[in-house]
Amino acid sequence: MAKLKGSAEVDAFMASLDHALKGEIERVREVILGVSPEIGEGIKWKSPSFVMGDYFATVNLRSVDDLQIIFHLGAKVKELPEGGIQINDPKGMVKWLAKDRALVTPERDWHGLSDVVRQWIQFL
């Protein structure tokens, strides 16, 4: 797979990262970047983050027990479609923090994470 925008920065960050879930974080990078060639990555809020026009997902490095990813719609408030963001989440990995922000705990369900990413980026 070709390196995407920002990957060198995140590669360097990950090389120096000492974290209990480092392997899972690397897998999250592969999964999210694999959803679309339009997705890039960078360091935002001192953590690996994913971008497609605007940043939309950031790994929560504060959690060392569970892998957590914060899904958002970038730094600026966006108008949401009528009915808000709708994510089909049969496995219950999405916890809503606000109408435009969610905490996703994939628990190594990489296919489920891909599904959430595909749905989320439709709202960017």
What token pair was written down for 120? Answer: 């989320």
Whole-model pTM: value is 0.90
Residue 2 forms part of a structural domain = no
Residue 85 forms part of a structural domain = yes
pLDDT of residue 10: 96
Q: Output the DSSP codes for 17-37.
A: ---TTHHHHHHHHHHHHHH-T
Amino acid at site 107 = E
**CA pair distance 7, 71, nearest whole angstrom:** 19
Residue 118 forms part of a structural domain = yes
Residue 81 forms part of a structural domain = yes
pLDDT of residue 18: 97
pLDDT of residue 112: 95
pLDDT of residue 81: 72
What token pair was written down for 124? Answer: 């960017």
pLDDT of residue 83: 74
pLDDT of residue 5: 59
Plot region of 32 (φ>0 → left; ψ -120 to 50 → alpha; else → beta)? alpha
Output the domain CATH number for residue 21: 3.90.1150.200
Residue 56 forms part of a structural domain = yes
The answer to whether 36 and 51 are in contact (CB under 8 A) is: no
Residue 34 forms part of a structural domain = yes
Residue 110 forms part of a structural domain = yes
pLDDT of residue 82: 76
Instruction: Give 123's DSSP letter.
Output: G
pLDDT of residue 7: 85
Counting the structural domains of the chain, the total is: 1
**CA pair distance 54, 45, nearest whole angstrom:** 14
Per-residue pLDDT of the chain (124 residues), as tens digits, is 344 556 899 999 999 999 999 999 999 999 999 999 999 999 999 999 999 988 999 999 999 999 999 999 976 667 777 777 899 999 999 999 988 999 999 998 999 999 999 999 999 8
**CA pair distance 77, 79, nearest whole angstrom:** 7
Question: Structural domain of residue 12, as residue ranges?
Answer: 7-123
Residue 1 forms part of a structural domain = no
The residue with tokens 């990813």 is 69
